[in-house]
Structure 1
Amino acid sequence: MWGWFSVSCTSEGAARITLPTFQENPTEEQGVAVDLAQDLIQRLHSYLDGEAVSFADCPLDLRGLSSFAREVLAACRDIPYGEVRSYGQLARLVGSPRACRAVGRVMAQNPLPLIVPCHRVVGASGSLTGFGGGLELKRRLLALEGVDVDMLGHRKGD
């Protein structure tokens, strides 16, 4: 069992996903974003059942985030299912090769985990580092995608 997720959408797109808790949080259906929220819930169920689900076509509501944060989240969103990238690789992809820690801060504040798959971002050596839902959940999500998490720490740094 994964627990309860929360999905919030606006007319602009997905705005927030909370990571699982074991305390039920009833869904409130309001506004025009209900269809998107229901679609996301269905996709999340499929993903957690082990299907390689794409969220690439899901509109996002990233208002209030800096342009740097949006660039980092876009680069993270491009990480394919079953693959990982390091914070340094993401920093280079957004044209800020020395901004590994800033990338880490953006990942820590990611409002849309799973849609923007921050669990696919690892340390330079491949080590599992930081995740809002805890490292055990990060490990489970990567394993669900077929990533050999025990071999990640044996990568060469970037």
Structure 2
Amino acid sequence: MPIFEYWGYDKKESDFVFKEINLDKDIRNKISEHSYAILTFKNCTLCFQKIKVKVNNRNEFLKIVQKNPIVCETCAQYSPNYSLNSEIKKPINIILGELTDSELKVLTGIIKLKDKKLIYRHIFNNDILDTKIWKIINLLQRKGLIRVERDSNWKIESFEFENEINNYI
């Protein structure tokens, strides 16, 4: 049954209210089982997958939105590279100061070139399997300087970065 048969909007309270309908236990269980939302955040800084969180009520929703996770639950639970301190972001100028010359060169190239074909040509020198460059790109992602956006087949769509980084480069 459509959800509007069970929920109504109270204009005085400016809130949704559950309509008092005699429902059997099975239908009530089915409604509560399917009453959730899946929130999608940016990519995890460790595994680079989209962070998806299932919330079942308004309180869970508010908590997760305020938290704005940068690491997925699986990496937080199992990855040895995760620590609670990684959630605290350093200022960009400090992160940039920690980069080596080659890391800074790759970051600058990604920001200036923008287009994935140009990045492949000039940073990877047309060798997309260059593990040395991928290690640098993975490090830049972990530090939150860039994001590699991928489609469902794991094919790269684009290289993304915050505009604030462009001001420092």
Structure with bigger helix share is 2
Is TM-score (shorter-chain normalized) higher than 0.5? no
TM range (shorter): 0.3 to 0.5
- More contact order relative to length (CA 8 Å, sep ≥ 6): 1
Structure with bigger strand share is 2
> Normalising by the residue count of structure 2, what TM-score does the alignment of the two structures yield?
0.33
